Every structure is written in C-alpha cells, then in structure tokens.
Amino acid sequence: MGAGDVKLMSMMGFCMGVRNVLTAVAVAVAVAALMGLMQTLRAGGIWARLRYLWEYLRLLAVNVRLGNPALPDYHRENARGGERVHFAVALFVGGIVTMGGYI
C-alpha cells in the first residue's frame, strides 16, 4: 500500500463517512487478498512463494529468539514481475460494495 492509497482512503472517508470507509477498507483487504492469490496461481509460483514464506518466518523466529527486533530483509531476486496488487482497484470495489448496500 502506497501513499496514493492512503490519500484515496482519506478522500473516501471524507465522502463516505468513517463507518462506511472502514467497511470499504475491510472489503478492500479481502478483495486484495483474493487478487493476490489469483495472481500467484496464474503465475504458477504458489509453491515457491510458500517456501519463501516459510523461510522468512523461520528467519523471523531466529531473530526474535536472539533478541533482534528487526525484520528480515525481503528479497525479490526471483521475482517474475507482476507481483504487485494495485490496492486502489480493491478500494474501488470495496467502495462500490459498501455504497451499493451489498454489506
């Protein structure tokens, strides 16, 4: 999520109100998770991503055990491109769902 997404959420809050924007953001998080899963499945890298997640969590546990609060670095050397999910699209869907009365 970048600075543009934060600005978009603030404008949505101005137009929709706090309660509706919180609902829209919750829907947007679910939509973005679904978009990310679909992208990963389409690229065929689900097992590579799960192995990387496992290794990342292992390094995080080692850091915590050693008393180092820093997060391990995120390496993108095997990135195939197209890994990003545009959260503005998910926010748009969340806003439409919320204002359309579907939730």
Closest by CA position to 56, among listed 36, 71, 78, 39: 71
Tens-digit pLDDT profile for residues 19-44: 999 999 999 999 999 998 888 888 77
Question: How does pLDDT run across 72-102, given as a tens digit for each residue?
Answer: 776 665 555 556 788 999 999 999 999 988 7
Write 88-93 long-range contacts (CB < 8 A, 24+).
Answer: 88/4, 88/5, 88/8, 89/31, 89/35, 90/28, 90/29, 90/31, 90/32, 90/35, 91/5, 91/8, 91/9, 91/12, 91/24, 91/25, 91/28, 93/27, 93/28, 93/31
Q: Is the pLDDT higher at 69 or at 55?
A: 55
Q: What is the model's pTM?
A: 0.68
